[in-house]
Amino acid sequence: GSVPQIKTDVPDIVEDLWEDYHLSMSEFHHQKASLAMLSLVNFGNKLIADLRPGDLAKIPEKQKELDIALRRFLKILVHLAFMICPLMPEKAEIIMKSLGLKKYLNTQGLSLLQKNLLLSKTKQIKKPDLLFSFIDEEKCWKIRGEKI
4-21: string of b/e by CB count within 10 Å (b at 16+)?
beeebeeeeebeebbebb
Residue type, 58: K
8-state DSSP, 121: G
pLDDT in tens, the chain (148 residues): 566 666 666 778 999 999 999 999 999 999 999 999 999 999 999 999 999 999 999 999 999 899 888 888 988 999 999 999 999 999 999 999 998 888 988 988 888 888 888 877 777 788 878 787 777 777 777 776 765 4
Q: What is the predicted pLDDT for the residue at 33?
A: 94
34-61: string of b/e by CB count within 10 Å (b at 16+)?
bebbebbeebbeebeeebebeebeeeee
